[in-house]
Amino acid sequence: MLKKRDDFEDILEERRNSSDLRYALRCYTPVLYKGMTPCKADTLKSMVLQSNQLRYVISQVSKETGRATDDVREDASAILEEMAHSLQLSTVRFFAFTLSKVFKTLFRSICVNEEGIQRLQQAIQEHPVVLLPSHRSYMDFLLMSYILYTYDLALPVIAAGMDFMGMKFVGEMLRMSGAFFIRRSFGGDKLYWSVFSEYVKTMLKNGLAPVEFFLEGTRSRTAKSLTPKLGLLNIVMDPFFKGEVYDVSVVPVSISYERILEEALYAREMLGVPKPKESTSGLFKARKVLSEDYGSIHVYFGQPVSVRSLAQGRVNRCKFNLVPRHIPGKPSEEIQNFVNDTAYRLVRAQEENMVLKPWVLLASLLLQHHHQNQTAGQERGIALDELTAQAVWLRDVSREYGAFLNWPGVITPSEVVSSSLSLHRGLVRICEGRVQLAVEQTGTGEPHSAVTPEEELLSRAVVVLSCASYRNQALHVFIRPALLASAIHAASSNQKQEVFNSFSFLRNMFSNEFILCPGATVQDFEEACYLLVKTRALQVTQQEVLVTERGQRTLAFLTSMLDPFLQGYQFIPAVRKFIVKHLLAGRLRYTEVLSSDLQKNALAALLRLGAVRKIKGAEPGTLKVNAVMVNSLEDTLGGKLPMQKAVSARL
């Protein structure tokens, strides 16, 4: 039926019943790769500076710039000094004690799959290990190190942005707990790239510690998985391609928060409020979060993925023998395609092991009711018993689709719903037995007359976008059936090929928005058909796709889930005032179209599809519009899909 997943253990349970100081000062003896002993930070730096690759690049930079080799070497040493971690067990113990206190205050439980921990322990002893956690909160990398320390596993070295290094005291504490700091972009700096890549590869090749980084590159403000960034993944695979290690084990880790600490901050960022600069004073100001309840966290360590097994039959490593290993080169198209496909596969693995809490389903339903009632002018909110019944229906559908759902089985559905609404009481309001989003709570403390319609709209948008971030946690479960449901709605007939063409167009349009593996259009279409047939929503023959009577409700839910994105893509981004005007006039239904993330992805899609293009020599952000293509896209996204020439694919 559903794939078997590991059971969880709450690691905070023991912390609540024993001494945190004893826990922090306990004997810590992790087993390393091939029984190696830990390497001191200064020794690691010397290994990097003396490596053949870095010496070669220093020589090349010296020749290109006309500077003395010693001067360039000093630059490389300074870069390394700025970048490198200085892991110290005393600092780790300090964090272990402090985080125990903080986590017990913030969270009800931190649940970890112990079988995943055992698999990781085995992998660390056999091959160099790369840890790839999902990234939804600042808490992620602290949480990862805390868990590995708890289970007596080797602490990872963690790629962190330079913003954290600027935090007085805290930045150095993070460095001493295993963080190494890198620039967000290198701007073609050959020396910086060489120091950085050699530093990571030296740690990896020698198995000195698991290397940890976020495949998405940055935190997801929307709780959707982001398009993977390939730079670091290329670096950690390079030693395998060149035969310097037998294999590399890559471990996807899924971190699921019942309530995200930064939920309101993220919503405001997406509405154009600048992100606060990371600072120590900001950290202390944020201590008020300690009085809040953030529910539970689930951390799922996935199956270690062997790079050697993935590369079998796909990558010809013989050609790496033709060039000395220390000479850096641009990855071939074959390598780029392999790394890209692997990255998408790993993000999909993260998504599949994300634990969904009941609130994710409730947020999806409440958002749809909010938008429908707003359009129809009906009584706001939904009766609590009706919401419970719909949540039970959606629970069953999502389980059929393979969702990893954590729905408590020991209490009644009404108790589950009440508990979830209570935890997220800042986003919902219950009045006279009806539940609605708390969109009328501006929280400004000003008289209503002092608040402009635009300010009122943006205040409501904070609540809507916060709820949308929870709904987005379930998008990976529903996105393929939702694309098919929207394709059926847009197609002018129920012919299977026509529906597939609609599906293919929408999938291509949203390839920046969702994790849709390149070249897998047919597989995704077949998966969507399978799931909707399995739940008796569709009947699919060789020639036709037919909606059953039972399927009307399912397809209505699925199309409504995708509607905010469809509406967001009908407007060329960077026209916030125009969108606000249309929202206030009621011509746009979904407040989510104000999200800067949605606008950024829409612009990327419009550029890729040729609807707009950048003008050389013009002001940054100036675009030339292809009116014919834009009108065609507007018709398409509005539901009037022009039929394309049949795509050559076997269905």
pLDDT per residue as tens digits for the range 417-432: 999 999 999 999 998 8
3-class SS of residue 616: coil
DSSP assignment string, 307-363: HHHHHTTT--GGGGGGS-TTS--PPPHHHHHHHHHHHHHHHHHHHHTPPBPHHHHHH
Helix axes 551-568, 358-376, angle to 10 degrees: 80
**Residue 282 pLDDT:** 54
Among 522, 553, 572, identify where a domain stops. 572
**End residue of a domain, out of 337, 353, 369:** 353
Report the pLDDT value the prediction gives residue 9, as an integer from 0 to 100.
Answer: 96
Q: Do residues 348 and 479 both lie within one domain?
A: no
Mean pLDDT along residues 310-326: 87
pLDDT in tens, 389-415: 999 999 999 999 999 999 998 899 999
**Chain mean pLDDT for the chain:** 88
Residue 377, pLDDT score: 60
- Is the domain of 346 the same as that of 456? no
Between residues 47 and 40, the one the model is more confident about: 47
* % of the chain at pLDDT higher than 70: 90
| Mean pLDDT computed over 630-637 | 73
Rounded mean pLDDT of 479-490? 96
Enumerate the β-bridge partners of residue 624: 613
473 and 326 fall within a common domain: no
Would you say residue 610 lies in a domain?
A: no
Which range (2-11, 123-132, 298-307) has the least confidence? 2-11
Please check whether residues 346 and 201 belong to one and the same domain. yes
Confidence (pLDDT) at 379:
60
Q: How far apart are the first and last CA of the chain?
A: 25
Give 199 or 378, the one with higher predicted confidence: 199
Q: Give me the count of residues in the chain.
A: 651
pLDDT computed for residue 571 by the predictor: 64
Pick the last residue of a domain from 536, 557, 572: 572
Question: Is 396 inside any structural domain?
Answer: no
Range(s) of the domain holding residue 461: 439-572
Tell me whether residue 398 is in a domain.
Answer: no
Alpha-carbon separation of residue 414 from 292, 329, 409, 532 (angstroms) = 24, 60, 12, 28
User: 527 and 480 in contact (C-beta within 8 Å)?
Assistant: yes
Report which of 452, 491, 461 is spatially closest to residue 579, judged by C-alpha positions: 461
For the stretch 494-532, pLDDT in tens is 999 999 999 999 999 999 999 999 999 999 999 999 999
Tell me: pLDDT of 592 over 70.
yes
Cα–Cα distance for residue pair 383/364, rounded to 1 Å: 16
380 in any annotated domain: no
- Per the CB < 8 A criterion, the answer to whether 351 and 132 are in contact is no
Segment 543-553 shows an average pLDDT of 95
398: helix, coil or strand? helix
Please report the pLDDT score of residue 314 as a whole number.
92
Residue 366 contacts residue 437 (beta carbons within 8 Å):
yes
Count of domains observed in the chain: 2
Confirm whether 651 is domain-assigned: no
Q: Among residues 471, 433, 447, which one has the least CA distance to residue 562?
A: 471
* pLDDT for the residue numbered 609: 84
Residues 472 and 338 in one domain: no
100 part of a folded domain: yes
Confidence class of residue 2 from pLDDT cuts 50, 70 and 90?
very low
Residue 15 lies in a domain: no
Tell me what pLDDT residue 399 has: 96
Contact predicate 538/529, CB 8 Å:
yes
Nearest to 603 by CA among 630, 577, 564, 584: 630
Q: Output phi, psi for 25, to 5 deg.
A: -100, 5
Work out the pLDDT band at 572, boundaries 50, 70, 90.
Answer: low
Q: What is the mean pLDDT of residues 304-317?
A: 94
Supply the pLDDT for residue 443. Answer: 43
CATH of the domain at 557: 1.10.10
CATH of the domain at 48: 3.40.1130
Give the ranges where 535-623 is alpha helix by DSSP (H).
551-568, 576-585, 596-608
Give 273 or 227, the one with higher predicted confidence: 227
Q: How confident is the model at residue 569 (pLDDT cuts 50, 70, 90)?
A: confident
Tell me which of 376 and 597 has the higher pLDDT: 597
- Supply the pLDDT for residue 355: 97
Domain assignment present for residue 458? The answer is: yes
Structure tokens, 608: 């890729």
The tokens for 76 are 């490389």
Q: How high is the pLDDT of residue 39?
A: 80
Sequence-distant (≥ 6) Cβ neighbours of residue 223 within 8 angstroms: 136, 260, 469, 470, 472, 473
What percent of the chain is predicted at pLDDT more than 90? 65
For the cut 60, the answer to whether the pLDDT of residue 647 exceeds it is no
Query: Do 449 and 551 belong to one domain?
Result: yes
User: Mean pLDDT, to the nearest integer, of 7-16?
Assistant: 95
Q: Kindly indicate the confidence band of residue 256, based on its pLDDT and cuts at 50, 70 and 90.
A: very high
What stretch of H or E contains 192? helix 190-205
Token pair, residue 101, equals: 């206190």
pLDDT for residue 646: 35
Of 498-502, 523-527, 537-541, 632-636, the one with minimum mean pLDDT is 632-636
Q: What are the residue ranges of helices labelled H in 276-317?
A: 280-285, 307-311
Which residues lie closer than 8 Å to 76 by C-beta, 6 or more apart? 49, 54, 58, 191, 194, 195
| Residue 5 pLDDT | 80
Tell me: do 347 and 450 sit in the same domain.
Answer: no
pTM, to two decimals: 0.91
Cβ proximity of 579 and 571 under 8 Å: yes
Q: Helical H runs in 353-452?
A: 358-376, 384-400, 413-423
Mean pLDDT of 456-485: 94
